[in-house]
Amino acid sequence: MKRLGQATTAVEHQIEAALKAIPAWRSLTVGYAPVGGGISNANWRVEVEGASTAYFVKVPGQGTEMFVDRRTAHDASLKAANTGYGAPVFAFLEGLGVEVFEFMEGWKASSNRDFLQHDVRHNALRALKAFNDQPPLIQTKTVFDMIDEHQRQVAALSAPTPPDHVWLCRQFERARTALQSSGIDLKPCMNDTLAGNFMLNDQRAVRLVDFEYASNNDPHYELALWFGEMFFTPDMESALIEEYFGRVTPQTLARVAVNKALADLKWSTWAMVQRAVSQIDFDFYKYGVWKHMRARAIMHDSRWELWLRQA
C-alpha cells in the first residue's frame, strides 16, 4: 500500500489528486492500493489514519464520460444505500466524478455460480426490487436512448460495425415500436446487473454496487439484462418474475424476452465504442462479438414475432 506522495504512474497520480481533494483527510496519513475487477474505472482501497473503516474509491476511466452521468450515479448510490441494500456513501467529488464508499469488509463479489443457489437469487431479486421501487432518479434514459446514443458514438468514432448492422437496427426499431406502443412504466434501474455488482456475505445476504449506468428505465429491461447475465433456466426466471410482479403473464414473458435482445444489442454497441476509446486492458472486441451473437440468437428465434406482438 502506497502513501500520498509516492505515486509513480498516471493512475496513481489520479487517485492521489482525488484523495487530496477530501478536506477531512488533508492532515492525516492516507494509504491506497488498487482493487481489481473493474473494466471502466480505476478502483482503490484507501486507509485513513484513525478511521474505523477503510474506503472504496472509484476514479473514472478515460472516455467513461461518454456513457456515465456521475451525478445520476451518485443519486442512485444514495438511494441504494437508503434501502439497506447498497454500500454506505462517504463522499462525492463532483468535479472529479469520484465516489467514495465505506469499504465492504466481509463481503465478496458474487459469481454466476453463486446464483445457482435459490436463496442468493431471490435475495438479489429483493435487493433489485427495493432499488427499483425508490423515488425516480434525476435522469431518465431508457434502453432505446442508450442504444441510440451508442449508435451516434459509433458513427462519430467511425468504429467498426457487424456486416448485418442494418438488419439488427431494423429489429431494434421493431422492438422499440412494440414496447412503446403498450406503454413503459419507468423506475430507477441499475442497468448493469452482472454478477460482480452483487456483493455477498457469509449469510448469503446481498448488497448492490456500481450504479454508473443507472437511470429511470423499464424494470422489464432490468430483469432481462440480469437473466441474460446469469443464464437462468426458464423455471428460475418464472419464479423470479412471479415474486417480482406477483404473477407470470404472456405479456411479461414477451417483454422480458424482447428486452434480452435489446440488452445484448446495447452492450455489444457499447463495446464497439469502448474498443475505440478505452485504455483498460480488456478484450472489448470479443465481448462485443459475443453479445451481438446472443442478440441475433433471440431475434432469429421462432418466437420473436410472437414476442413482438405480445409485448
How many residues are recorded in the chain?
311
Residue 39 scores a pLDDT above 80: no
- Which of 23-27, 93-97, 133-137 holds the top average pLDDT? 133-137
| Of residues 201, 230, 205, 225, the one with CA closest to residue 214 | 225
Please give the domain boundaries of the chain with CATH numbers for all domains.
2-102 (3.30.200.20), 109-310 (3.90.1200.10)
What is the reported pLDDT for 41?
82
Q: In the Cβ-directed half-sphere of 277, how many Cα atoms lie within 13 Å?
A: 21
Map grid coordinates 450515479 to a residue. 73
Calpha distance 80→63 (Å, rounded) = 25
Q: What is the pLDDT of residue 62?
A: 75
CB 131 within 8 A of CB 209: no
| Mean pLDDT within 284-297 | 96
**pLDDT band, very low/low/confident/very high, at 207 (cuts 50, 70, 90):** very high
Q: What average pLDDT does the chain have? A: 95
Digit-coded pLDDT (tens) for 114-171:
999 999 999 999 999 999 999 999 999 999 999 999 999 999 999 999 999 999 999 9
